[in-house]
Amino acid sequence: MREMKISLTFQKQAYAVFFAVILSLVRGVTYSNEIGIALEAPMAILAFTFCADTYVQEIASKRSEIWRLCPMKKRMNSIYRRMVMQVMFLLAVAAASYGLFFLFQNPSIYGMEQSGLKIEICQFFVYFAAIAVTLGFWGLLSNLVSCLFRNMWAGIGGCMVLWLITNSTIGDRIFGAWNLFSYSFRELEDSSDFSWIYGKVVCIVIGIMAVAVLPKIIQKRG
Amino acid sequence: MGIKIEDLTVTFRNDVTAVNHADLEIPKGIFGLLGENGAGKTTLMRVLTTVLSPTSGTVTLDGMFYSEGNFEKIRRKIGYLPQEIDLYPSLSVQECLEYMGDLSGIPRQTYKERINYYLEKTNLSEHRRKKMKQLSGGMKRRVGLIQALLNEPEFLIVDEPTTGLDPEERIRIRNLLVDFSEGRTVLFSTHVVEDLVATCNQLAVMKNGKFLYSGNMKELLEQARGHIWICKTKEEGTARELEKQYHVSSKQYVGDELQMKLISETPPQMECSSCEATLEDAYIYLMNKEPHNAKYGAAH
């Protein structure tokens, strides 16, 4: 609860919700299976700006000198708890945004008969799994880069560069199914194609590496 | 045992040397640290809290060397109140201190008892539900001090703990530090000389990264004895002339006369009387007691 109050301030919650509402209002979609594509890349931006200050707020507020005196395990637990809470919140926003697209954009759906509903539900869960990985990855990465440079803007800037590279035609051409945004670049017509999972596996692997490296950076850089 | 600093030097990347071959022994009890702004006090404290690594020299705490391998053990013995700190504005006082207790690895029951005790001692009990952002500067300072005391450290480092406090609160904090210092070491850095007079016997004075003085307060006062003078004048021109020639540690109007306290190696060349040195006078005397100091030279 205390970590929640520290890392999920009212301002942060407000701008995340505002971002989701505006996005669902201005980004047009024709079919329901386009919602995931419309959401993934912008949600990644939200994730890396949202999580960039997870630890470096301690540096900015000069609390890091006190943090240094605390046991490493406790410090890391607190950082990871903050991260989990932020990603869970963003996940809830991402799920709500999916619904907002239905509300504001009224996309064509597979019909309300049983099989159509099943496809829509299945589509949502696939989106939910993909966006969970995306949010976790970008959140962890921005926190890691911020800690490395002891500056939130370094985390946001570094992630923005990577975002621009991977969320582009060039990125799609170079990385293909291994792209971080493989879910957005997937073949929409072929719903049985799950090769985009490779890209998400890359996200998970890099995310695990970020989790493993973070304690060393915190210890070294404080 | 306490803390032993030997030949300590801290040079930053921009070639600024903040601490320059400094030697110091800090015994048990409250130890005062005085010095002008930029003297190197905060840098020294950052080394002592393991935040900064020295360029050269050694530091030991109760015989334990400051080295990478010992840092975890040393950190557990230290409590620190930095000069500037902004504790979690969105948390209440109670939540903030509980969070710091959790982070320090103190058992829940223990830190809850200590929080209650120190909130009472610092007169903050009735503000425990207030958010940190709602507190005044002085209250925030007191909460900062409680977080430093929470793990009952063997070595407490406090950087200007009384800043922003009213006189009554300052006395309360000073007394708290004196009580706390029993069997422990407290390094008390401040610009408020009165605070040191009221709390410590031992102190060190820093200037340009070096210790000008380290030892007993009485001896420091003794050094200034016979160099503090009281002069009275009615003429503004004379007063200005005195200010040019000597260090004036205080001045006030007494009736229609201006009474000035001067610091000089020899008696000023006008009617004056010698007076007892305060720590402030002794500090000013020491800071300016250099062989080629123009103002001291003027008196000769």
Q: What is the spatial distance between Cα A93 and Cα B216, in angstroms, rounded to a whole number?
A: 63
Residue A22 CB coordination number (10 Å): 11
Q: What is the pLDDT of residues A131-157, one digit of tens each?
A: 999 999 999 999 999 999 999 999 999
Beta-carbon separation of B95 and A5 below 8 A: yes
Task: pLDDT band for B246, please (50, 70, 90 cuts).
Answer: confident
Average pLDDT of the segment spanning B136-145: 91
Structure tokens belonging to residue B217 = 């307060």
Q: Are A180 and A137 in contact (CB under 8 A)?
A: yes
Q: pLDDT at position A110, please?
A: 67
Percent of all residues in chain A with a pLDDT value above 70, rounded to a whole number: 98
Average pLDDT of the segment spanning B227-237: 86
Interface test with B, best of A65, A78, A218 (most B CBs within 10 A): A65
Structural element, H or E, at residue B223: helix B217-224
Q: pLDDT at position A111, please?
A: 60
Beta strands in chain B (DSSP E): 3-11, 17-26, 29-35, 56-61, 64-65, 78-81, 155-159, 185-189, 202-207, 210-216, 228-233, 247-254, 257-263, 272-274
Rg, Å, chain B Cα set: 22
Nearest CA in chain B to A72: B72
B292, pLDDT greater than 70: no
Q: What is the spatial distance between Cα A181 and Cα B153, in angstroms, rounded to a whole number?
A: 50
Beta-carbon separation of A70 and B105 below 8 A: yes
Q: What is the pLDDT of residues A3-57, one digit of tens each?
A: 999 999 999 999 999 999 999 999 989 888 899 999 999 999 999 999 999 999 9
Task: Say what the ipTM of the complex is.
Answer: 0.88
Beta-carbon separation of B103 and A2 below 8 A: no
Q: Are B246 and B298 in contact (CB under 8 A)?
A: yes
Q: Are B281 and B263 in contact (CB under 8 A)?
A: yes
The whole-model pTM stands at: 0.86
Sheet-wide strand order for B29-35: B78-81, B155-159, B185-189, B29-35, B202-207, B210-216
- Tell me what the pLDDT averaged over chain A comes to: 92
Tell me which residues of chain A have a C-beta less than 8 Å from any C-beta of chain B.
Answer: 2, 5-6, 9, 61-63, 65-72, 74-75, 78, 222
How many Cβ pairs within 8 Å bridge chains A and B?
67
Within 8 A of A57 by CB-CB distance, chain B residues are: none
Q: pLDDT at position B234, please?
A: 83
A189, pLDDT greater than 80: no
CA dihedral B194→B200→B202→B207, nearest 10 degrees, is -30
Task: pLDDT band for B297, please (50, 70, 90 cuts).
Answer: very low
Q: pLDDT at position B56, please?
A: 95
Structure tokens belonging to residue A221 = 């850089």
B214, pLDDT greater than 60: yes
Q: What is the spatial distance between Cα B66 and Cα B39, in angstroms, rounded to a whole number?
A: 23
Q: 3-class SS at B25?
A: strand
Q: What is the pLDDT of residues B179-192, one digit of tens each?
A: 999 989 999 998 88
Interface test with A, best of B45, B50, B70, B90 (most A CBs within 10 A): B90
Q: pLDDT at position A195, please?
A: 86
B226, pLDDT greater than 90: no
Structure tokens belonging to residue B56 = 């050269």
Task: Please state at what angle helix B93-103 crosses helix A72-105, rounded to 10 degrees.
Answer: 120
B291, pLDDT greater than 80: no
User: Which domains, ranges and CATH numbers included, belong to chain B?
Assistant: 3-216 (3.40.50.300), 225-299 (no CATH)
Of the listed ranges B4-8, B22-26, B98-102, B230-234, the one predicted with least confidence: B230-234
